[in-house]
Structure 1
Amino acid sequence: MSETPTPLPRAMAELAADFHAVSVRERLQLLLELSDELPGLPDRYVGSLDTMERVDECQSPVFLAVEVADDGDRTVSLFFDAPAEAPTTKGFAGILHESLDGLPAADLLDVPDDAPYRFGLAEAVSPLRMRGMIGMLSRIKRQVRLRSHTAAMATGRQE
């Protein structure tokens, strides 16, 4: 008896469906397009990579910052710095930004850890590269937990 996989958030599920709708070669092209669409850093992070977390699992120097708003949903904002010379890694960041930025913290924390494998990219890139995307998701979730807990402690709420 096989388990039903944990569902992905809507935007992530739609993006995963887009990847599965095309051939393996076209998935790489789609990944490159997402690489090009990754937004630049806001001014507060430009030149301040020391305030961002380095994703050591990536072969290229990738940095991320996670902000959790002090609103009712604890809306998450994601920021990435990835070199243009690393389009695969930058594309992974693009997938995560496109599908997770703006989610409530609770929804982001519910994203299954196997989500990076649901895009059919393991057939197109090396396991070492997939490890980078898994590392990005893991670090995002860790930072969301940390920031949500810190915010709750500051306001006296229990988690």
Structure 2
Amino acid sequence: MTADATTALPDGFAAIVEDFNAVPEPERLQMLLDFSRSLPALPERYADHPELLEPVPECQSPIFVIAEVEGSGDDAQVRLFFSAPEEAPTTRGFAGILHEGLDGLSAADVLTVPADVSEQLGLSRAVSPLRLRGMAGMLGRIQRQVREKSAG
């Protein structure tokens, strides 16, 4: 991984990409599983009202996401929440990466993350292209929600 490849990423997300690329491929899958276990539970306001979360149909497993935006404009702070089943560790892992890499950042930083960030993790031989597209689908929905909510 070159510095140029992670330049467009916020620092924390760039560090995650660098960590994945610093280990051999078999260990990357283990890292993905570690992220699946670190995905925070939904707060009650969403656990009790799952209809407020947006589904991500690109994912093979049922996953739902919502981005909260505090403030307005590019400096607005983004908070992310995911619902993914325990029995879907790959999907939960991607959600965990997005949560750790993006939660708490400014809207401007979230919107700079390139759509191909899932490919930068070096998992293309360990995870199917369909699953990588699922992570891209999650990111796309997050970015659309952030654009809509930070504009108003």
Provide the residue aligned with 2:87 in structure 1: 85
Unaligned stretches of 5+ in structure 1? 151-159
Deviation at 1:146, TM superposition (A): 0.7
TM-score by length of 1: 0.89
2:138 to 136, 149, 159: 136
Aligned to 1:149: 151
2:41 equivalent in structure 1 = 40
Q: 1:101 aligns with which of 99, 103, 117?
A: 103
Matches within 5 A, 1:111-122: 111-122=113-124
1:130 & 1:107 partners in 2: Cα distance? 21
| TM superposition shift of 1:134 | 0.5
> What is the alpha-carbon distance in structure 2 between the residues aligned to residue 59 and residue 48 of structure 1?
22
Deviation at 1:114, TM superposition (A): 1.2
Moved over 4 A (4+): none
TM-score (norm 2): 0.93
RMSD after superposition: 1.3
Aligned length: 147
Q: Structure 2: 5+ residue runs without aligned partners?
A: none
Distance 2:12 2:108 in 1: 15
- AA paired with 2:142? I
* Structure of larger gyration radius: 1
Cα deviation for residue 71 of structure 1 reads 6.2
Segment of structure 1 superposing worse, 110-119 or 67-76: 67-76
- Matches of 2:98 and 2:125, distance apart in 1: 19
Deviation at 1:113, TM superposition (A): 1.2
Structure 2 match to 1:110 = 112
C-alpha displacement at 1:123, in angstroms?
Answer: 2.0
State the AA in 1 paired with 2:31: L
